[in-house]
Structure 1
Amino acid sequence: MKHTYKVLKWDIELFAAALGQVRVYVIQPLGENWVSVIDYGGTIEKFSPDSVKIAGAYYIRNQFEFRVDVKKDSAGM
């Protein structure tokens, strides 16, 4: 089984994750191939064009990356 992720960039992606109560990870890009995990996940409680609220904390959208797990079965691909 291969494990990967999807970055949530658009309002519709954030909305779908919020509606589906999907666990979202908050990542801060630090440079080429380097990231720092800020929050290991929670559901999206609220979002606006400027911020996303996850587990009671607000994160600025242009400073952080929001990721969800995507699992693909290697036998099916």
Structure 2
Amino acid sequence: MNFRCLRTNMDFFTAALSGSQVYVVSPLNEDVFEIVDYGGKVEKFTPKSVKIAGSYYFRSQFEFRVDVKKDSAGM
């Protein structure tokens, strides 16, 4: 799977505006990760959290990914 990690406020802003499908991931180590939520669109974000599909996630505990092949916005 080819993906891009959302890290900055601008990344989240762009994903929210474009309506990109965002996956919530918990990295276990460098090569292994667990998908926490297949996600949805970014509804709200702050420096500490992101609201996706009605649920809040701490930015410090999870990775937020966009599938590059499916993302038509070219993030």
In the aligned structure 2, how far is the partner of 1:56 from the partner of 1:41? 9
Q: Flag structure 2 segments of 5+ consecutive residues without an equivalent.
A: 70-75
Report the equivalent of 2:41.
43
SS at match of 2:16: helix
Which residue of the other structure, out of 8, 11, 23, is the alignment partner of 2:21?
23
Give the RMSD, CA atoms, in angstroms: 0.9
Measure, in 1, the Cα distance between the counterparts of 2:28 and 2:52: 21
Deviation at 1:34, TM superposition (A): 1.2
Given the two structures, how large is their TM-score scaled by the length of structure 1?
0.85
C-alpha separation between the residues in 1 aligned to 2:14 and 2:30? 29
For structure 1, list consecutive stretches of 5 or more residues without a partner in the other structure: 72-77
Calculate percent identity across the aligned residue pairs. Answer: 54
User: Looking at CA atoms only, which structure, 1 or 2, has the larger radius of gyration?
Assistant: 1
* 1:41 positional shift: 2.0
Q: Report how many aligned residue pairs link the two structures.
A: 69
Is residue 33 of structure 1 aligned with residue 16 of structure 2?
A: no
- More strand by percentage: 1
Question: Match for 1:12 among 10, 13, 16?
Answer: 10
- In the TM superposition, what are the counterparts of 1:33-72 in structure 2 within 5 Å? 33-71=31-69
